[in-house]
Every structure is written in C-alpha cells, then in structure tokens.
Amino acid sequence: MEEKTIQLFQKKNIVFIATIMMDGSPQLSPVWANYDSGYILVNTAEGRIKHKNILRDPRVALSVVSNDNPLEMTTIRGTVEEIIPDYNYIHADKLTSQYLGQKHYPFKKDNEQRIIFKIKPEHVFVMPELKMDST
C-alpha cells in the first residue's frame, strides 16, 4: 500500500469496516485498526455482529479519513484471512496507546474475549492530491 495510506492507519483516525449480513445487506461499524506487514488489523470482541458476519463471509470493505484533513482518505476492499485471539489485550493495548494515549485498554468487560481480524487488502483507492482553488 502507498505510504499515505499506511500513515492513515498509524494515527488516531477511526476506521469504518463494512461486513455482509446474512440477507446480503451491508453492516457498518466504527473500529480501531492499524497496519502491520501488509495487513490491516482490526480489534473487536468475539460474538459481535461483524464477527458473526465474517465467519460466514470474510469479505470486507474499510474506509479511513484523516481527522486533520477530510480530503486525505482511502477505501479498501479485502478479505479477513485470519481471526487471531487477543485474549491478553496486547493488540487492544497497542491501539489504546495509538488512539487514547493510554497504556491499557479501558473498556474491558467481564467474559469478553478480544480478537483481531487480519485483513489482506485487495483493492485500494487513495484520494488523489487535490489542489484547492483560492478563488
């Protein structure tokens, strides 16, 4: 992926992930995510709607827009190649540092198990640089 896209995943930008419901309709969720070694990593909890949808159909779409400049954005279609347990909150803590500047994930719930969607980007669109006319 382009460096510009990778940078969007390294900042506090909320990522939106779309999954496919059983009836074929889209389901959209705001999530925390990062980019590592060719994959987008999305952290969530087991049993959520997006998790159930991905177990049935691993195709997803993602969108991320810069908080600083809404013209810096990307949309991605890809496939969840692996669901990785994050039961020790290692990835959740890493994202907490990125998004909140805190050391530990503050939203832990009893009996909630965190997981990571390892997404292989397949189609990436990056908004081209736009020159703003001052007139």
Q: Tell me whether residue 67 is in a domain.
A: yes
State both tokens at 102: 């805190």
- CATH number at 53 reads 2.30.110.10
Q: Tell me whether residue 90 is in a domain.
A: yes
pLDDT band, residue 70 (cuts 50/70/90):
confident
Q: Tell me whether residue 135 is in a domain.
A: no
Three-state DSSP class for residue 14 = coil
State both tokens at 60: 């997803």
**Domain that includes residue 42, residue range:** 3-126
Total domains in the fold of the chain = 1
Q: Tell me whether residue 44 is in a domain.
A: yes
Please, which residues bridge with residue 36 across strands? Answer: 39
Q: Which amino acid is at 47?
A: G
Q: Tell me whether residue 46 is in a domain.
A: yes
Please, which residues bridge with residue 117 across strands? Answer: 42, 83
Per-residue pLDDT for 12 more than 60? yes
pTM for this predicted structure: 0.91
Per-residue pLDDT for 78 more than 60? yes
pLDDT digits (tens, 9 = 90+) for 92-128: 999 999 999 999 999 998 899 999 999 999 999 988 7
Burial of 47 (0-12, 13-18, 19+ CB in 10 A): exposed
pLDDT digits (tens, 9 = 90+) for 29-67: 999 999 999 999 999 999 999 999 999 999 999 999 999
Please, which residues bridge with residue 78 across strands? Answer: 60, 121
